[in-house]
Structure 1
């Protein structure tokens, strides 16, 4: 017996150390989930307990599972209800996975849970009513999913809940009053849900323990409840991106613990409460982009604020002197108001001021000398005001400055020497003032200077050679000054230079040798100077030059034939002393104005050279011969024309079809001239509904003709017209009455029995999509791309906000943004546009989806609801195209679309992996700002997308 006992002890049966029951439950959890990365590889039945498994935490005494944390594990599948069988389970964290389906109704079986965090997953359906039946639940975090429906009324029955986060879902209905019953609540976050237009329940003022309240982007209307004054422990209040009206309630000053108030992008009006000075703990106040009037309260400025943003309002009066008492102020942004008067002389003396933006106001007086007293000032933006006086010497010692914008003021006097050479400045904009003196040689120390804008001042003297040491310089605009001397030889060694504008000065000498080193030069403007000598042939080797203006100088010699190598949008060599023959490419009437005022040029162009005289007899014979030949041709042509018209009349009469020719502008051509040029060799584009032809008219001008051979098939997914009208009728109705510089002009149209013709202005550079995604993309540097984005936004803003009724384009994409000869953008192709006819009604529902793959807003694909927000999403994709240089659908994205690829790559690998590598890195800050606008426009929730008018303003500020 003793031997048998020893054998059993030394060789226990295989079930002696079997996995306990909790481990078996967890293996059921593993079996129910997809685990592509083997994150749960150590979950196995070889252990006796799961306490050492990844993501599992157990009680040190009882060895029972208390916490399951499998965040960021790429797990997929429905919520594993087997977790609820763990009797001591307190916490479940499955953040940032692919948990899908809907939450089970019997999730209340997890009776002992205190924390449930399922944020950033793919959960759908309604929020279970039974969640409120978990008696010990303190933290419920379900943000970043696709929950829909209303917030259950049962949520008002939580007994111990402290944190409720339902942000970034698809919840609708209204914000329920019953949430005011959760007296234990410390944080409530419902931001970015597409609620029906909803008021803030005054009952939320009963949450006297509340510390954080986030209701941004919730489609809130009405006023801020005065009951918020009872939230004495509130630290953070975010009501931004809504439609809140009324004034900021004075009761808000009762919140003695508040540190941050975000009210931006609403419709608040009235004056700010005078008692805001009672908010002694307030660090950040942002009420920008509203309609707030009156003066800035002195008490508000006397607080220990770190950030004060009140831009895009209607504020008047002066900046209170109390702002100088703040010892913490880092950011002051008051641009786009009606503020006036001088700035407080001690502004910045006591605070570590970093960013100051007072542009587009009516401020006057001098720049305070203490702005950079703490040595941390990075941005000073004072453009479009009435400031005067000189730049303080102290700013010349402010080595932290990176962005200086003083354009369009009344500054005068000499610019301090050291101000020219600030080592971190990348943007120095001093244009449109009355500065005098010279550019100091200390500019050689401005190693990061990318943009130097000093046009339209009274600067004089020679341009210093030291400018040539600014290797980062991309743009130099110095027109409209009194500069003399010669162009420095070193200037042509700046390989990154994109724009050089020295026009309207008194510069003499010749263009330096070595111009071919300016390989990135896009614009060269030396007009209205005293330059002489020959035009260097090296200019013809500049690969991206498209703007060349050397007019009103004293250049002599021949026009270099090498200029034919350039793809110029602007060429002006007029009013010089050039001679010889023109290069064949330019010996055409359309280039006549580029060469006028050069008596020595010889070409067969009217107005350039006198024609060789002939004898009177020869002239008479020639004239008589011409008259007889012309008369014969007219006779023959008349007979043929009459015959053709007669046949056409008979044919049309037989078909009972009448051709209707409608013009919307004054034109100098007929339908017959157009019809005769619709040949296959003139095709420049093809679409779902027909072909586009380039037609060169008899007067030398070109037009684009779109021929729609037949109606668009009903039910087509791409470019399908509404059932109410075909594409031709829609485009005629829409474009025929639009007049805007950024929308393509429809000259005229013809609706005949065998097809329809639409005649537009011709766009020499084609579509943005074709140019951006071709070998010619190098022509689109960042300034050009930014200008295209702003032009297109202006056009769409006109459609959405200035047309009555508004017009929704419904097919915004890069191929429908056309570029003229100077790369100005125009929105085109209105074949599926929708005139929105509504008064306080929901968005209209379409019978089919219009748009193009990669550009369609997510809600449009399953609701067929059309409104301006759909266009804004599509335009956001265009912005992402401009930033990334990639098409909206690309194999590199895998199963993602452009929007998801940009967001995930941005977050995981950094912005450098998103930006088009062909773009100059000196524009990185501006590119990042525009990228942020594109991401905002492509928000999954329509309510969080800005209006197109806001997009225009954001783009203007980004620039």
Structure 2
């Protein structure tokens, strides 16, 4: 029976059976007693309006359809499950049936008797099996039909019954297994305003009849296998605002699109279009987004492109375009992304634009200081010249400056120290001169400096030794003189190159290592007792140098002691907290599913002997209920739970209302509404003044990381690896596309993909997740980079912005783990390189690519593994716009499915220290957090 939380369920159910709105049968148009119930003048129920109410359970259609006057059921976006029974046929007065965005199962029953139905919305609700298309013939009043994102059986052809529904204005059939050609009869649906057929198995040409849909404002055909040219008459769609036919096999020119004056969004990427981009596109006054990358387009961009509307985004990369860049694309200052890679553009960069590539020339003008939000300045490999203006210091958001391989000259502005967010500075291969400014040492976020191949002179600034995060320093091939500053000894450098300068004096002992040997060559005045390629130092030089190093080491040692003491205190407080069982007088338990336990069953089990994992935000415990069911309980750290006893008098202690952590809030906000087989189930939350518990399903086979890389690793056949990849992709696809407000995970990695007893994957750990707010852009800016090293998308490092494409990058890394068996970071990859760099370095030949495939994968399936590797490479493109959506990733994975899935797993007996037991599919191995 359904559980209604917003009003008295027993009274409602009584009155549903009585067909009245009040316990006494009073006549009224709206019930004063029951939320969401509307009645007619005779007191009979006509509408049930309960969308987005957190309702859960199974709908009693036998009772609901006993309401003979019922005209509307609107219960979308709830937590409903179970099936729709045949009792639905008795709702013969229904005009509106909205059950979309729930977690139903089974097939949709015959709808033949619902002849008055005008609105049918069942999208994203978990239905499967054959859809009763035949019954739609009788629903001639339908105006709104939304069936997308369900796993219906694949149709043998486009359902002809749809073509008779000539009152439709909304047709959403994306991702619901429709196959075949779009029929000419689509022209019958002349009232259509929205037509969405994306993510299906459509093929053949776009029919000419589609040009008769003159009221169409949105047309979505992406991710199919459509071929041919735009049909004659396509330009009659003069009401079209949004058009997406990307990721097909369309060809020909774009001339048929010239009359579409109202276009605001045009996406045709990954097709085979040729010819010029029509000059008329420059006259489209509402155009804001254009994505035409990976086609065969030629000629120049229309010179008025983007000069009318709030032009925000353009990607025409990977074409054969030439000529100058349109001067006014950033006229209204709304441009967020300009991607014109791998073309042959010429001329100067328009003054309004801030990010560009190709063979540009001329100076960087002082008005660059007006780019207050500029994070990445990448002008590398062009022909820019002149001096770097001092106003660059006013671009306070700059994180990365890449000016390599140009013709810049003059000195680095002394004001560069004002760029507090600067993390990388690449000036190699220019004509810069003068001294390296001391103020560079004020850029406290710097991790990478490369000033090689210039004409810098003078001493290396002592201030560089104060950069706390500097990892790589390259000052080679300049005219630097003097001694190497001892202050550099404080740095934890993985790369140091001072070769080919005029340096003299002793090399600090901390750098007298074989790893740095080549970085000192070409400096005849340098000496070292340990490096054989340099002359030995005199005694006086060694003594002076050793004294300075000794003083530096004393300072560094004291700093380490302070940090160690702080860490010890923190860990001790955590241990104290663990050793004391939870004893609270008041608990608040909030359930998100039907439960078979209460809070005491959970709280009593939170003790050290049940601990199965520790993380940065808290501990994880295994709870075994009296009925044998198993739960995983995450105890999320709060300031109060860690130091309540020790710092009770501290003014910094959080108040009760602020004791919840951001990780707790993020997980509850995300998982309380998620219903998907590949996303971990959150049963409930249990909170008190200083304790936050989240109760999940227990997944006995641990994480994918454990099974690939840890002591508990197992030998997984390719069939199982593929199954895990496909399931995890569907979970992420649901998060990105299954909600009105997409969920961005922000920490996708193999340790956050858990495996149940049948080795089916679940996306887990939503402590960093973000939900797109209504009307938002699906993008956040953080001051601190969140995520895990090796999985973080490269753009996050210089923009600190995250969106769905950031998750796609991380998932691509997971795919590489599955194919290669390697961790994201391995010593064999080389310094500052990860699995993505390593895989890309192996793409020179088929033989070297095969070498990256895990040797545990059978030769029979290595071809399949290489197909998945190609998908992974696509996901990890450095340019976010070139990455596929998760919906497209799922589609691509389906296309490379192995012929047979056997899911055989055996323990890797070669793993040192691991159990030698055999693990069969469906069996349980050691539990893992």
- Residues 298, 321 of structure 1: 8 Å contact kept: no
Match of residue 170, structure 1, among 79, 102, 126:
126
Q: Is 2:382 the counterpart of 1:457?
A: yes
* Mapping of residues 535-546 of structure 1, within 5 Å: 535-546=460-471
**What does residue 56 of structure 2 align with?**
100
Distance of aligned partners of 1:937 and 1:171 in 2 relative to their CA distance in 1, 3 Å threshold: farther
**What does residue 683 of structure 1 align with?**
none
Cα distance in structure 2, aligned partners of 1:583 and 1:226:
79
State the Cα distance separating 1:59 from its structure 2 match.
Answer: 14
Distance of aligned partners of 1:591 and 1:70 in 2 relative to their CA distance in 1, 3 Å threshold: farther
Q: Is 2:430 the counterpart of 1:505?
A: yes
State the Cα distance separating 1:136 from its structure 2 match.
Answer: 1.5
Q: Is 2:216 the counterpart of 1:292?
A: no
Distance of aligned partners of 1:361 and 1:815 in 2 relative to their CA distance in 1, 3 Å threshold: farther
Residues 149-191 of structure 1: per-residue CA shift (max 9 Å, x gap): 1221x21321110111111122112333222331111111111
Match of residue 130, structure 1, among 87, 94, 110:
87
State the Cα distance separating 1:63 from its structure 2 match.
Answer: 2.3
Q: Is 2:140 the counterpart of 1:183?
A: yes
Cα distance in structure 1, aligned partners of 2:314 and 2:774:
32
Larger RCO, structures 1/2 (Cα 8 Å, 6+ apart): 2
State the Cα distance separating 1:371 from its structure 2 match.
Answer: 4.6
- Residues 381, 406 of structure 2: 8 Å contact kept: yes
**What does residue 918 of structure 1 align with?**
784
- Residues 703, 751 of structure 2: 8 Å contact kept: no
Match of residue 358, structure 1, among 316, 331, 335:
316
**What does residue 192 of structure 1 align with?**
149
**What does residue 481 of structure 2 align with?**
556
Residues 740-798 of structure 1: per-residue CA shift (max 9 Å, x gap): xxxxxxxxxxxxxxxxxxxxxxxxxxxxxxxxxxxxxxxxxxxxxxxxxxxxxxxxxxx
| TM-score with structure 2 setting the length | 0.60
Q: Is 2:127 the counterpart of 1:202?
A: no
Cα distance in structure 2, aligned partners of 1:488 and 1:189:
60
Residues 913-953 of structure 1: per-residue CA shift (max 9 Å, x gap): 98765139996684135357489999xxxxxxx96566345
- Residues 28, 43 of structure 2: 8 Å contact kept: no
Secondary structure at the counterpart of residue 467 of structure 1 = helix
Distance of aligned partners of 1:898 and 1:254 in 2 relative to their CA distance in 1, 3 Å threshold: same
**What does residue 345 of structure 2 align with?**
387
Secondary structure at the counterpart of residue 251 of structure 2 = coil
- Residues 77, 100 of structure 2: 8 Å contact kept: yes
Cα distance in structure 1, aligned partners of 2:23 and 2:191:
35
State the Cα distance separating 1:100 from its structure 2 match.
Answer: 2.9
Secondary structure at the counterpart of residue 131 of structure 1 = helix
Structure 1: any 5+ residue segments left out of the alignment? Answer: 1-28, 72-79, 399-403, 405-427, 614-687, 689-716, 719-809, 819-826, 837-845, 851-859, 891-895, 939-945
The alignment yields a C-alpha RMSD, in angstroms, of 4.6
Cα distance in structure 2, aligned partners of 1:563 and 1:876:
50
Match of residue 371, structure 2, among 415, 437, 446:
446
**What does residue 471 of structure 1 align with?**
396
State the Cα distance separating 1:478 from its structure 2 match.
Answer: 1.3
Cα distance in structure 2, aligned partners of 1:815 and 1:194:
31
State the Cα distance separating 1:372 from its structure 2 match.
Answer: 6.1
Secondary structure at the counterpart of residue 321 of structure 2 = strand
Secondary structure at the counterpart of residue 392 of structure 2 = helix
Distance of aligned partners of 1:357 and 1:174 in 2 relative to their CA distance in 1, 3 Å threshold: same
- Residues 294, 317 of structure 2: 8 Å contact kept: yes
Residues 714-745 of structure 1: per-residue CA shift (max 9 Å, x gap): xxx99xxxxxxxxxxxxxxxxxxxxxxxxxxx
* Mapping of residues 866-945 of structure 1, within 5 Å: 866=724, 868-870=726-728, 873=731, 882=746, 888=752, 898=764, 906-907=772-773, 917-919=783-785, 926-931=801-806, 933=808
- Residues 340, 357 of structure 2: 8 Å contact kept: no
State the Cα distance separating 1:130 from its structure 2 match.
Answer: 2.0
State the Cα distance separating 1:956 from its structure 2 match.
Answer: 3.5
* Mapping of residues 455-604 of structure 1, within 5 Å: 455-604=380-529
| Larger Rg computed on CA atoms | 1
Distance of aligned partners of 1:569 and 1:275 in 2 relative to their CA distance in 1, 3 Å threshold: farther
State the Cα distance separating 1:442 from its structure 2 match.
Answer: 2.7
- Residues 216, 239 of structure 2: 8 Å contact kept: yes
**What does residue 356 of structure 2 align with?**
430
Cα distance in structure 1, aligned partners of 2:220 and 2:811:
17
Cα distance in structure 2, aligned partners of 1:129 and 1:253:
39
State the Cα distance separating 1:297 from its structure 2 match.
Answer: 3.3
Secondary structure at the counterpart of residue 381 of structure 2 = coil
Cα distance in structure 2, aligned partners of 1:931 and 1:157:
47
- Residues 66, 90 of structure 2: 8 Å contact kept: no
Secondary structure at the counterpart of residue 234 of structure 2 = helix
Cα distance in structure 2, aligned partners of 1:59 and 1:937:
62
Cα distance in structure 2, aligned partners of 1:265 and 1:196:
18
Cα distance in structure 1, aligned partners of 2:501 and 2:450:
14
**What does residue 241 of structure 2 align with?**
283
* Mapping of residues 748-759 of structure 1, within 5 Å: none
- Residues 113, 134 of structure 1: 8 Å contact kept: yes
Q: Is 2:192 the counterpart of 1:234?
A: yes
Match of residue 338, structure 1, among 293, 296, 301:
296
Distance of aligned partners of 1:871 and 1:255 in 2 relative to their CA distance in 1, 3 Å threshold: closer
- Residues 457, 480 of structure 1: 8 Å contact kept: yes
Residues 97-117 of structure 1: per-residue CA shift (max 9 Å, x gap): 343332224131122111111
Residues 857-901 of structure 1: per-residue CA shift (max 9 Å, x gap): xxx9xxxx65534367589999967569998599xxxxx985666
State the Cα distance separating 1:521 from its structure 2 match.
Answer: 0.6
Residues 816-868 of structure 1: per-residue CA shift (max 9 Å, x gap): 999xxxxxxxx9998443323xxxxxxxxx6xxx9xxxxxxxxx9xxxx6553
Secondary structure at the counterpart of residue 538 of structure 1 = helix
Distance of aligned partners of 1:917 and 1:488 in 2 relative to their CA distance in 1, 3 Å threshold: closer
Distance of aligned partners of 1:471 and 1:193 in 2 relative to their CA distance in 1, 3 Å threshold: same
Distance of aligned partners of 1:580 and 1:918 in 2 relative to their CA distance in 1, 3 Å threshold: same
State the Cα distance separating 1:315 from its structure 2 match.
Answer: 0.9
**What does residue 319 of structure 1 align with?**
277
State the Cα distance separating 1:358 from its structure 2 match.
Answer: 2.0
Cα distance in structure 2, aligned partners of 1:87 and 1:515:
78
Cα distance in structure 2, aligned partners of 1:912 and 1:302:
28
Residues 424-474 of structure 1: per-residue CA shift (max 9 Å, x gap): xxxx223441403x3322333333322222222333333222222222221
Match of residue 835, structure 1, among 706, 713, 718:
718
Distance of aligned partners of 1:374 and 1:484 in 2 relative to their CA distance in 1, 3 Å threshold: closer
- Residues 340, 363 of structure 1: 8 Å contact kept: yes
**What does residue 24 of structure 1 align with?**
none
Cα distance in structure 1, aligned partners of 2:214 and 2:528:
82
- Residues 334, 358 of structure 1: 8 Å contact kept: yes
Cα distance in structure 2, aligned partners of 1:293 and 1:434:
31
| 911-920 or 97-106, which deviates more | 911-920
State the Cα distance separating 1:524 from its structure 2 match.
Answer: 0.6
- Residues 508, 531 of structure 1: 8 Å contact kept: yes
Cα distance in structure 2, aligned partners of 1:134 and 1:912:
40
Distance of aligned partners of 1:495 and 1:347 in 2 relative to their CA distance in 1, 3 Å threshold: closer
* Mapping of residues 212-251 of structure 1, within 5 Å: 212-251=170-209
Cα distance in structure 2, aligned partners of 1:576 and 1:262:
60
Secondary structure at the counterpart of residue 228 of structure 2 = coil
Distance of aligned partners of 1:288 and 1:379 in 2 relative to their CA distance in 1, 3 Å threshold: same
Match of residue 28, structure 2, among 57, 60, 63:
63
- Residues 452, 474 of structure 2: 8 Å contact kept: yes
Cα distance in structure 2, aligned partners of 1:315 and 1:277:
17
| TM-score with structure 1 setting the length | 0.59
